[in-house]
Structure 1
Amino acid sequence: GPALGYPEVVTLAYPRVGEPNPLVRLYLHDLETGQQKEVWADTTGGYLPWLSWSPMGDELYFVHLTRTQNRFTLYRYEPGQGKPTAFFSDSTTGFFSWDDRNLLVWRTDQPELFYLSTGLAEPEIWRYDYKGRRLAVYRVAGLRRLVGYAAGQLFFLAAGETPLQQRVGYLNLTQRQPKPTWLSTTLPWAEGEVAADLLYLRESGFLTPPRETIFSIRQPTQRLALPDLNKTLPIPAVQVRFVQFPGARQKNRWGYLLLPADFDSTRSYPVVLTFYGGPGSQQVQEEFQNLAFFWQAYLTQRGYLVACADGVGTALYPTERFAIYKRLGLLETEDLAAFVRWLRTRPYVGKVGAFGWSYGGYMALRLAYAAPDGLAAAVAVAPVTDWRLYDSAYTERFMGLASENAAGYQETALPPSDKPLRVPVLVIHGEADDNVHVEHTYQFVERVLRAQPEAPLEWRIFPNQNHGLSRYRYRVYWEVERFFDRHLR
């Protein structure tokens, strides 16, 4: 077997909130000479989240994003022609999420590019020529993401008849004032990708696994249906009901209920409420949910109902996406607490337990304190408990700098100083989690028990496991199920 010895310490860069960020430099490497030329050197602790050669390959474009992630500049650099020059800039009173690589899309047959502007109340498509002049602005109802460009058409994703649905559309740029044209699909959720003159289309429904098609953009009648690898996938017999409920601040919110096939409204069922809740995320949608769906369906076979809700700040309510700025978790929890109250008014709902992972784990803990009269148990897996312990790139985007928002960081930290823990809580964490460090759970447990030695708190720490706890995933769900069996039945 392997030789035994002392653990080895490996240091990884992980700048937390308020700590110095690495200073990024951008170089060009000449493959023939082996020489390197510095193109850009950041001195502010900002980010270079996007770079691309122009379609002709003669110019390099890159984005410099400020550390606060509310302003960026797109630069253009022509090798051998001096320093990079500013192409255009954008700013917002909220934040930019440059995780989306398709915020900028090239037009491959003309010297133009398209930018998805997300700093306003509603997203817009800005069209630029190569001199940095804005040629046009396009507005599409429910616009979500740019997909790509080919053959005179700019493809994008947008909400469908309801925000729970998604469709693929395009603008025909050969027209003077193009209007959205929608691809015909048979299922409520669609997404696509463009490569050369081909479009990959993926469709699914909440109870229907994905179907995939490739078709020619120049000749749309030429379609190739890819082999249906999910054709023999057994889908459990369940029902799904999408609902709207009165959330906080007199706003209607979306949720769903997953029910067994033999659901009896005269019975009382324990309910597992699941959520994620992170900024820009969406759980309540008519898309097939893969593994999450099968676990939820399994719970219905064990006599549970499964509920899910999306509150303010999620993708379902795009005009409110900045409402959570500098106070992560506070308003979202109010919406989830309202959903718990709504559930408890249903005659078939018994005890309710909350379950979340990562950001969802943070929300589960917040909900345990916010809804102690409506919640019977809560499970948090790999939760954030104090944003001051999380990485700078994610946290400062939504919370701002700690030096400018000290009160917000303190208010969102767990446990709250003015409330005891009354709801039974189980916290699960991987000891080697390099995303949400296990320190979050250690600090939470210590603070709870120091203030409340007999608090209804349990925890499980899994050795050598990261954020996904993949090696012990079965055991994790086994622990979750046992905990709910004890407290909800």
Structure 2
Amino acid sequence: MNYFKHAFILFLAAGFSTFAQQKITIEEIYGGAFRGKSLDELQALKNTNQYTVLNTDRASKSMQIDLYDYATLNKVATLINTKDHKELPPIDSYTFSSDEKQILIACNSESIFRHSFVADYYLYDIASKKLQKLFDFKIQEPVFSPEGTKIAYAKENNLYVYAITTGKTTQLTTDGKKNSIINGITDWVYEEEFAFVRAFDWNKAGDKIAYIRFDESQVPEFTMDMYNTGLYPSQETFKYPKAGEKNAEVSLHIVAVATNTTQKINLGNYNDFYIPRIKWTTDPALLSVQVLNRHQNNLDLIFVDGNTGSAKVILTEKDKAYVDVTDNLTFLKDNSFIWTSEKDGFNHIYHYDKSGKLKNQITKGNWEVTEYYGLDEKSGTIFYQSVENGSINRDIYSIRLTGKDKKRLSVQAGTHAATFSPNFDFYINTFSSALQPPTYTLNAASTGKEVKAIVGNDELLAKFKKYNLPEKEFFVLKTAKGHELNAWVIKPKDFDATKKYPVLMTQYSGPGSQQVANKWYDSNDYWYMLLSQKNYIVICVDGRGTGFKGADFKKVTYKELGKLEVEDQIDAAKVIGKYNYVDASRIGIWGWSFGGFMASNCILKGNDVFKTAIAVAPVTSWRFYDSVYTERFMQTPQENASGYDENSPINHVSKLKGNFLLIHGTADDNVHVQNSMTMIEALVQANKQFDWAIYPDKNHGIYGGKTRIQLFTKMTNYLEEKL
């Protein structure tokens, strides 16, 4: 639910003075005049030691999918150029067939929810340069069969297979119906909280497709008014299971494509469960399925025989709080597999044989593995990202499958991410820190040594320095209760320790999240620098419940979301208020989504500490939020009523003393505007004065046109007036 997934990562516009500090404007920050350079749609090929990037030529108004060599970084070829195909619209995204001789190109994409979309798709044969539009209608999630002769896709809740050579389409399912039955595509809550859309998968032989079927006919509906510009508003209705309510009933099916016959798989004696992942193994007859109970504290990895339909539990993960679902499950040639788990208290990499017997715990230590990049089977070397050098940093490592010969490949302190070549000889390293905008370099996988620079952002850095802006300073804040919390501060550039400054605290605070990270700035960071130019100090503190410091630190908030997290923000504000350069009577706090829930609680429960709060798109009662996310951390309202109600800001409105600004979009399919409307009514009936702003037809991200500029101008003005 993190709103930052919606935020545009935009950078500062030009306009500098050589003799004075140039003032940042909100129009520059959120208008997107300057962006850092990047490698768009970077994809590592699997068959050749090459990668592709989607490039745009603004002069000719064309787009190209360009092919590059990992070893030299030289451009090998332009696979397709839109200027050579007048019928091809701008390219949104693309995928290759497994032999990398064909490309599926998505154009004219229309967003549905956070990850899902429909688009027009074009099929391009690289050798013949033949381009064809697949259909005269938009489809979802098309994917090549392994041999590249067929394409499976979803349309209006049903699954289809298109034969490339004959042009024939076969319909695999027929019962799909809006707000009732979905085949092979996830429902709203799976998409949002398990973070995937395509719920079908080809086996390695290309003769079977496994898919999840969602029966959401009994799931309660949510309806949003869409005001648009017509005489009457329209309504958008979709299935949304709130905490404790009926979920979609899921079932697993396998289709034999040649005969178009389907078998329903009996997974075992499960009741009210989730299927958060399916994935075929390297054996074309063996499907892996992850089954999670509703409390999400028991995850079974099941192997299903695709021929007989028999199912066997291979591995079970249990946790006293909850088990996180990841995409790290990777099958090796012998069908042994890589798995990541927090079972020793920190997220680490494990190797199991094909029967589910543990072969080895590969990484160990009081630190977290944050990304699993892959295994070079020829050398037995695993590559991964971790926080071993401090939880605010990310580094790239290699280690043997045996758990020996660990190497740190990255050098600079900050955030490193890697895209490896198919033979694991090289990787493209993306690096940034609070001092360095993103840079892309080619590095040797064996040593981590930089081979060649690819893309830098020296111009952006030079412009940033011309603004004469303050740096983000990292520190550890210790509360009176002894909790040591990661934090950063942005002070005015002409900071004077003898003066007293107002402070705005910013946070998100959701389970497993992180805001205190050593990486380059996003648009909100620039807003904080704008505030620093207005003589505010901005401070961010990651309290208990946030991520990358071990399972105990993260899961301590279990069953009481908003209790310890709010306590930590209040306690941190008390420490900050004692700094000799802080005006303790002028401390404010703001946040978005979970952060808005937190800001609301802080101004109420911390009414003697906080003067002003801004809550954007806040949850105001976890009873209003979805089942998968909420119950993971809270169980159901029926089981844990006090956990829900004692930490709901709606139930503390009588404590409001300071200034409170509440902001929401009416078309928020995620955190419904119902949250704010209920909060508003509670504040009114408590006879409390407050401020609020509603954005018609805006979703959880509240953006589009001039929206962000207007929104952040409003918040800036509010802080200047009220803090």
Question: Same fold, TM exceeding 0.5?
Answer: yes
Shift of residue 214, structure 1, vs aligned partner: 4.0
Secondary structure (helix, strand or coil) at the match of 2:521 reads: coil
Alignment of 1:267-416 (within 5 A): 267-318=499-550, 319-350=552-583, 351-416=586-651
Secondary structure (helix, strand or coil) at the match of 2:242 reads: coil
Seen in structure 2, the aligned counterparts of structure 1 residues 289 and 477 have a Cα distance that, compared at 3 Å, is: same
Number of positions where the alignment pairs a residue of Structure 1 with one of Structure 2? 480
Secondary structure (helix, strand or coil) at the match of 2:519 reads: coil
Cross-structure match for 1:142: 367
Q: Is the 8 A contact 1:105 1:148 kept in 2?
A: no
Seen in structure 2, the aligned counterparts of structure 1 residues 302 and 57 have a Cα distance that, compared at 3 Å, is: farther
Q: Is the 8 A contact 2:301 2:314 kept in 1?
A: yes
Instruction: Percent identity, please.
Output: 28
CA root-mean-square deviation: 2.3
Shift of residue 391, structure 1, vs aligned partner: 0.2
Match for residue 278 of structure 2 among 51, 68, 72: 51
Cross-structure match for 2:668: 433
**1:461 and 1:248 mapped to 2: Cα distance?**
38
Cross-structure match for 2:135: none
Q: Is the 8 A contact 2:300 2:315 kept in 1?
A: yes
Match for residue 118 of structure 1 among 320, 342, 347: 342
**1:6 and 1:240 mapped to 2: Cα distance?**
49
Q: Is the 8 A contact 1:283 1:308 kept in 2?
A: yes
Seen in structure 2, the aligned counterparts of structure 1 residues 113 and 203 have a Cα distance that, compared at 3 Å, is: same
User: Highest CA radius of gyration, 1 or 2?
Assistant: 2
Cross-structure match for 1:78: 305
Shift of residue 401, structure 1, vs aligned partner: 1.8
**2:457 and 2:489 mapped to 1: Cα distance?**
28
Q: Is the 8 A contact 1:430 1:438 kept in 2?
A: yes
**2:246 and 2:643 mapped to 1: Cα distance?**
20
Seen in structure 2, the aligned counterparts of structure 1 residues 128 and 211 have a Cα distance that, compared at 3 Å, is: same
Which AA in structure 2 matches 1:197? N
**1:74 and 1:381 mapped to 2: Cα distance?**
39
**2:403 and 2:231 mapped to 1: Cα distance?**
70
Seen in structure 2, the aligned counterparts of structure 1 residues 88 and 229 have a Cα distance that, compared at 3 Å, is: same
Q: Deviations for 1:162-221, whole angstroms, at most 9, x for unmatched residues?
A: 322221212212xx5515321132242222344633434221111311112344546866
**Greater shift after overlay, 431-440 or 163-172?**
163-172
Q: Is the 8 A contact 1:269 1:348 kept in 2?
A: yes
Gaps of 5+ in 2: 1-227
Cross-structure match for 1:89: 316
TM-score, scaled relative to structure 1: 0.92
TM-score, scaled relative to structure 2: 0.63
Shift of residue 427, structure 1, vs aligned partner: 0.4
Which AA in structure 1 matches 2:273? G
Shift of residue 80, structure 1, vs aligned partner: 0.8
Shift of residue 117, structure 1, vs aligned partner: 1.1
**Greater shift after overlay, 237-246 or 334-343?**
237-246
**2:493 and 2:284 mapped to 1: Cα distance?**
57
Secondary structure (helix, strand or coil) at the match of 2:241 reads: coil
Alignment of 1:144-223 (within 5 A): 144-151=369-376, 152-173=380-401, 176-194=402-420, 196-198=422-424, 199-215=427-443, 217=445, 223=451
Q: Is the 8 A contact 1:211 1:228 kept in 2?
A: yes
Seen in structure 2, the aligned counterparts of structure 1 residues 248 and 45 have a Cα distance that, compared at 3 Å, is: farther
**1:216 and 1:36 mapped to 2: Cα distance?**
47
Seen in structure 2, the aligned counterparts of structure 1 residues 67 and 214 have a Cα distance that, compared at 3 Å, is: farther
Shift of residue 332, structure 1, vs aligned partner: 0.7
**2:510 and 2:715 mapped to 1: Cα distance?**
21
Q: Is the 8 A contact 2:428 2:442 kept in 1?
A: yes
Shift of residue 41, structure 1, vs aligned partner: 6.6
**2:474 and 2:448 mapped to 1: Cα distance?**
33
Match for residue 16 of structure 1 among 220, 239, 242: 242
**Greater shift after overlay, 125-134 or 375-384?**
125-134
Q: Is the 8 A contact 1:248 1:334 kept in 2?
A: no
**1:246 and 1:65 mapped to 2: Cα distance?**
37
**2:250 and 2:435 mapped to 1: Cα distance?**
45
Q: Is the 8 A contact 2:441 2:450 kept in 1?
A: no
Shift of residue 37, structure 1, vs aligned partner: 3.0
Q: Is the 8 A contact 1:246 1:338 kept in 2?
A: no
